[in-house]
Amino acid sequence: MLILILIFFSSGIVLAQDNIPKVNKSCLTCHQREGFSTKHDGKEISLTVDPAVLADSVHKNNPCTTCHMNIQGFPHQDVVYGQELTVQVTKSCQMCHANVAKDYKASKHWKATKNGMADVSCNACHGEHDVQKLELTKQEEVKMCTQCHQGAILEGYKQSFHGKAVLLGSEESASCVDCHGAHKALGDEVAASPVSAKNKPATCAKCHQDAQANFAKGSEHLTLSAKDKNKIPYYISKAYIWLIILTIGFMLVHILIELFGKFRKAKKDDITIDVDDSDIDLN
């Protein structure tokens, strides 16, 4: 049995070694050198790839040229950098990941990446040479999305019960992708979006069984403000602040007056004199 196991494992190791594409070894001859870089548009661009990082990724068995498709010989022809490289690599993802790429290409993220407004490419979320299957906790996921999505959206989420729960570690409450989807982030103005007016009830119903149309009417990313369409929650919270100040303030003042009264009486009734904060009763 032990021998069998040993044979199994050793063959596995051999297999793994064999599977590392030969072409990568050639690429790495130059690209694993530390400090390997070039200048483009006056900027220093590192060309170093850590073989250990690559070997640890889910793409460890892919030739470098699967993603860097245009690099077919040496010296490299038509090398692109920056945003152009991002778009080029993203296009090569769909060669294998066709279904997901279809969703992604419909998304706002692809539009922004393509137009050079931001880098929300596949690699931006999934990693580059260290690409892994994304198994994020809800907290890590919110952290990832909010690298870009800040301001009122983030503030509103933090104030919502969903946001508070997730930020405190909940595994059940809704994070960004639970409502918005991951690859098909369309924006609520697009009818096909899970957060469009039409699809919202169905999206809510994923967790909230038999959610009605009414249930989905209203903002999830809500910050209490007098400028909001619904001022009532805002004014209720303000009214409570003053109720707290007046009620608890009255209680504290009332207690202080009582204590002052007792302090005075304690002296009068008991004919005591103060020595080092302890009372000596002369009676």
Partner 1 sequence: MLMEERISFSEERGLMFQRLTLNQRIQHFVNFLTFTTCVITGLPIKYHGAALSAKIVSLFGGFDTMFYTHVVSGILMLLAFSYHFVYLAAYAYLNEPSFAILPKWKDAVEIVQTIKYNLGLTDEHPEYGRYCYKEKMEYLALIWGTVVMGLSGLMMYFPQITVKFVPRWVIEAFRAAHSGEAVLAALAIVVWHMYNAHLSPDFFPMNKTWITGKVSKTQMEHEHPEELREIMDEIDYKEELKTDVEDSKSFKFANSRGLIGVEIALYAVFLVWLLKTFVPLGF
Q: Can you give the binding site for partner 1, defined by CB under 8 A?
A: 158, 161, 164-165, 167-173, 208-212, 214-215, 217-218, 222, 224, 230, 232-234, 236-245, 247-249, 251-267, 269-270, 272, 274, 277-279
Q: With respect to partner 1, which residue has the nearer C-beta, 13 or 168? A: 168
Q: How far is the CB of 181 from partner 1 (least distance, A)?
A: 22
List Cβ neighbours of 260 (8 Å cut-off, separation of 6 or more): none
Q: How far apart are CA 66 and CA 95, in angstroms?
A: 9
Q: What is the closest distance, in whole angstroms, from the C-beta atom of residue 175 to partner 1 in the complex?
A: 13
Q: Which is nearer to partner 1, 9 or 242 (CB)?
A: 242
Cα–Cα distance for residue pair 112/87, rounded to 1 Å: 11
Closest C-alpha to 216, from 231, 232, 194: 194
Distance (Å, whole) CA 197 – CA 60: 43
Pull the structure tokens for residue 203: 């999206």
Q: Minimum distance between the CB of residue 185 and partner 1, rounded to whole angstroms?
A: 24
DSSP three-state, residue 14: helix
Contact 20, 60 (CB under 8 A): yes
Residues composing the chain: 283
For residues 49 and 216, which CB has a smaller minimum distance to partner 1 in the complex?
216
Query: From the CB of 200, what's the least distance to partner 1, in Å?
Result: 11
- Cβ of residue 233: shortest distance to partner 1, in angstroms? 4
Chain-centroid distance, C-alpha 141: 3
Residue 256 CB, nearest distance to partner 1 (Å)?
5
d(CA 189, CA 182): 17
Q: Which one, 12 or 233, has the nearer CB to partner 1?
A: 233
**Cβ proximity to partner 1, 107 vs 173, nearer residue:** 173
Q: Closer to partner 1 by CB, 12 or 218: give it.
A: 218
DSSP 88-134: HHHHHHHHH-HHHHHHHHHSHHHHHHHTTS---SHHHHH-STT----
Closest separation in Å from C-beta 271 to partner 1: 11
- Smallest distance, Å, CB 137 to partner 1? 12
CA atoms of 79 and 279, how far apart (whole Å): 90
Q: Nearer to partner 1 by C-beta: 43 or 267?
A: 267
* Integer Cα distance of 185 and 107 in angstroms: 5
Of the pair 2, 232, the CB lying nearest partner 1 is at 232
